[in-house]
Structure 1
Amino acid sequence: MTMPLLLAYRRWWCLIFAGVLLLPTLGHVLPDIPGPARPVIAPAERWWMRATERLDPFINANFGFRGVIMAANAGYARAFDSTRARPVAIGADGQLFYTGDRTMDQALGLLVRRPAMAALGETLARLQATLKPWDGRLVVMPMPNAAAIIPEKLPDWARGQMRTPTEFDLAAEDAARRGLAFVDLRPILTAAKAAGPVYRRTDTHWTQRAALIAFNAAMAAAGRPDLEIPESAAIGPLQAVPSGDLARYLGDADPRGDRDYAERDPLPKATLVPLSGLVPERPANDPFRPYAYSTGHDGPSILVIGDSFTQHYWPRLLAARTSRFGWMTHEFCRFDWGAIARFKPDIVIYGPTERSLPCKIRQGE
């Protein structure tokens, strides 16, 4: 009597096992749901040389059923408030907070870099002196971390560690001592959140409404309240928008996963003409590429020294209220000083995000 190699019921298990192994392959041809952007879309040249170095990144970004798997993984992480060592903390109501660059420590007052903050004060005093020959006006307006505006949504472990002073507090105190025009957006945005969100739930950035509130506060601090823009002229109702940068850290690419206000271009309409030679030249692929424009109508000239909180949020507002406007990155106090003299702005707004407030000090300085 001979015994079959595999009993009948085991043959079915073999087929099931083989099917499971084939699933990733089938995933390349069967429908899938959208996933986060692929960091690698094609194998590197001569990938067969050092394949683990050159081919693995492609495989990791192009496996079968990628969208389904990453969505399931993101769902699991949300269910258990897990961030898998990513620079994100999950707070109440699914609010996400950025923790990279020691941002959370800074927001809680656990990280205070006094020498770097003193360097910021010296930089701002120098900037104000640079504007004096043509009566330019400096407005200092840091953009607060979300933790400073919506602390009630922080995780319990974070709320329990909050203390003062923070670096933001030091900046405000130093500006007052030097006689600088300083806008503390913390009480302004805290009051504004009662009427609607001021920070995105899944993104490091604020909402279009908060950006407008900050713009108006800067105009008032510059002595030009006539340049403020009513909300009805610049923003529309809340609408669904794709999940933001913090959600993408967790593998979430929901096309309707967050909310923000619709954008409206306020009057007067501008005819933007690029102005060359005023702000630094950077490659087109630079994420913080400076820009300068004339608008074709009357108004002051304004130069913003900031980062992503103003770079893409303010152009339409500046275009409606200036004759010329420009933007360049602060580079942690190492911005292009020559641009100030070339542009000769009526108003300079120095507006880094709170996490970028301290100057970067080189060793030996």
Structure 2
Amino acid sequence: MPLLMKFRRYWAIFVVAVLCLPTIGLFAPDLPAPLRSVAAPEARWWTNAAARLDPYINNVFGFRGAVLAAHAQYGRWIGSGESRVLKGEDGALFLKEDQALEQSLGQVLRPDAIAAAADVAERLDKMMQARGGRFLVMSPPNSQTVNFELLPAYARALKHAPTEYDLFVGDLKARGVPVLDLRPLMAQAKTDGPVYRRIDTHWNERGALLAFNAAMDALGRPDLKAAPVDALGDAVVRDEGDLVRMAGLTKPEKPDIGYKIKGPMASQPGLTPLTGVIAPVSPRDPFVPQVFETGHPGPRIMVIGDSFTQGYWKGLLASRSSAYAWIHHRRCRFDFADVERFKPDLLIYAPTERGIPCLPSKDGPKATGGR
């Protein structure tokens, strides 16, 4: 009588194959995965394997990327914020999406996507040169970049160069495209007070103002800067932030510091909407374009940015221009015809660090001109 009946042999082969999957996964192609928080087993792990070896195994199992991606999708489905937020030192929170952490640490490099972003910036520069205007590229750094010291220790140990920010700035300088590296500015400004949120993905009002003033200097219009004493009020304690909501917390471990705004940074009266200039989007879109005449003299200013400039710069743009436009960069998929129709004197291309790469999108191909 055979050891295994014929129909059971197939089941045996199937079971053995399943048991081999974790080993095969160590060598087979896998999906991108979050950074490993444990790089090697602890010394003398065999004396207490449950405590000293298990953390390492949990970081190196086969098909780790696929398993964690599935876990993240499940977490989003049930509304859990655990897979979206990284807890750092001293109560700081960081966004885990868009590979922002890996990007800031130099753990992910997408040179083709960065070169494509530089192509977009170069095209905008040539458009502005043709009309006698001024152009600038500036990228608000990730909070992981600015508040690097608040990342978990294992993440800080993985930092190396170059980063995608380095590649982008270097490429633009090589092409002769005007670019402002905001990282040194933010690092210096931190010595006098916070410039980025601790429990939110964005900079605070002070960081936003310093970046705006630096952009005006770089554009050759220092007369458009707003003095901090005129634009910022008292510091205020805040315990709300987008990362707090994503993490499902009712209250952060440590509150945040922001600033009241006033004068040129506050909402400005007398704005008149300009219609028929910017391609419309759905009113449910979180990034509805802003196009206004202000009723006072000044240059026409346009910003192609994201949430770092959408609200933080609204008052500054209105108080410093005769007309201003703000549109989202759409990961390089904005409509170049919007620029041609608005005819700005000053144009700023300002994707956040994690929004720099021109990555494939289910929304369709990149926009080119009015097509």
Output the TM-score relative to the length of structure 1. 0.74
Aligned to 1:124: 121
Please state how far the C-alpha of 1:360 moved relative to its aligned partner. 2.0
User: Helix, strand or coil: the match of 1:165?
Assistant: coil
Aligned to 2:46: none
CA distance in 2, matches of 1:314, 1:159: 31
The amino acid across from 1:100 in the alignment is E
Runs of 4+ in 1 over 3 A off after TM superposition: 253-257, 267-270, 361-365
User: Helix, strand or coil: the match of 1:173?
Assistant: helix
CA distance in 2, matches of 1:323, 1:364: 34
From the superposition, tell whether residues 84 and 233 of structure 1 become closer, same or farther in structure 2 (CA, over 3 Å).
closer
User: Helix, strand or coil: the match of 1:266?
Assistant: helix
The amino acid across from 2:340 in the alignment is A
The amino acid across from 2:264 in the alignment is P
User: Helix, strand or coil: the match of 1:240?
Assistant: strand
User: Helix, strand or coil: the match of 1:139?
Assistant: strand
Q: Per-residue CA shift, 1:207-248, capped at 9, x if unaligned?
A: 000000010011111110111100011111111234211111
CA distance in 2, matches of 1:364, 1:309: 25
CA distance in 2, matches of 1:311, 1:253: 26
- The equivalent position to 2:191 in structure 1, one of 173, 181, 194, is 194
User: Helix, strand or coil: the match of 1:293?
Assistant: strand
Do the aligned partners of 2:300 and 2:322 also contact (CA within 8 Å) in 1?
yes
The amino acid across from 1:93 in the alignment is D
Aligned to 1:222: 219
Matched, 1:277 2:276: yes
Residue pairs, 1:99-178, within 5 angstroms: 99-178=96-175
The amino acid across from 2:280 in the alignment is E
User: Helix, strand or coil: the match of 2:263?
Assistant: coil
Moved more, 209-218 or 128-137: 128-137
Please state how far the C-alpha of 1:148 moved relative to its aligned partner. 1.4
Please state how far the C-alpha of 1:259 moved relative to its aligned partner. 2.4
- The equivalent position to 1:213 in structure 2, one of 210, 213, 233, is 210
Please state how far the C-alpha of 1:359 moved relative to its aligned partner. 0.7
Do the aligned partners of 1:270 and 1:320 also contact (CA within 8 Å) in 2?
no
User: Helix, strand or coil: the match of 1:147?
Assistant: helix
Do the aligned partners of 1:243 and 1:252 also contact (CA within 8 Å) in 2?
no
- The alignment's C-alpha RMSD in Å is 2.2
CA distance in 2, matches of 1:157, 1:267: 39
CA distance in 2, matches of 1:289, 1:108: 32
Number of positions where the alignment pairs a residue of Structure 1 with one of Structure 2: 285
From the superposition, tell whether residues 242 and 278 of structure 1 become closer, same or farther in structure 2 (CA, over 3 Å).
farther
Unaligned runs of 5+ in 1: 1-59, 62-82
Unaligned runs of 5+ in 2: 1-77, 367-371
From the superposition, tell whether residues 99 and 310 of structure 1 become closer, same or farther in structure 2 (CA, over 3 Å).
same
The amino acid across from 1:130 in the alignment is M
Aligned to 1:307: 306
Please state how far the C-alpha of 1:254 moved relative to its aligned partner. 3.6
CA distance in 1, matches of 2:278, 2:219: 22
Do the aligned partners of 2:138 and 2:182 also contact (CA within 8 Å) in 1?
yes
Aligned to 1:319: 318
CA distance in 2, matches of 1:248, 1:84: 8
Please state how far the C-alpha of 1:149 moved relative to its aligned partner. 1.3
Please state how far the C-alpha of 1:184 moved relative to its aligned partner. 0.5
Do the aligned partners of 2:301 and 2:323 also contact (CA within 8 Å) in 1?
yes
Residue pairs, 1:1-365, within 5 angstroms: 85-254=82-251, 257-266=255-264, 270-361=269-360
CA distance in 1, matches of 2:96, 2:298: 40
Please state how far the C-alpha of 1:85 moved relative to its aligned partner. 3.8
Q: Per-residue CA shift, 1:132-179, capped at 9, x if unaligned?
A: 222121110001011211211111010000011000001110111111
Do the aligned partners of 2:265 and 2:315 also contact (CA within 8 Å) in 1?
no
Do the aligned partners of 2:265 and 2:314 also contact (CA within 8 Å) in 1?
no
Do the aligned partners of 2:244 and 2:250 also contact (CA within 8 Å) in 1?
yes
User: Helix, strand or coil: the match of 1:233?
Assistant: helix
CA distance in 2, matches of 1:94, 1:310: 26
Q: Per-residue CA shift, 1:318-344, capped at 9, x if unaligned?
A: 111100001000011111111111001
Do the aligned partners of 2:81 and 2:248 also contact (CA within 8 Å) in 1?
no
Q: Per-residue CA shift, 1:306-327, capped at 9, x if unaligned?
A: 0000001101011111000010
From the superposition, tell whether residues 241 and 280 of structure 1 become closer, same or farther in structure 2 (CA, over 3 Å).
farther
From the superposition, tell whether residues 197 and 364 of structure 1 become closer, same or farther in structure 2 (CA, over 3 Å).
closer
CA distance in 2, matches of 1:229, 1:90: 35
Do the aligned partners of 1:141 and 1:349 also contact (CA within 8 Å) in 2?
yes
From the superposition, tell whether residues 270 and 137 of structure 1 become closer, same or farther in structure 2 (CA, over 3 Å).
farther
Do the aligned partners of 1:270 and 1:297 also contact (CA within 8 Å) in 2?
no
The amino acid across from 1:259 in the alignment is I
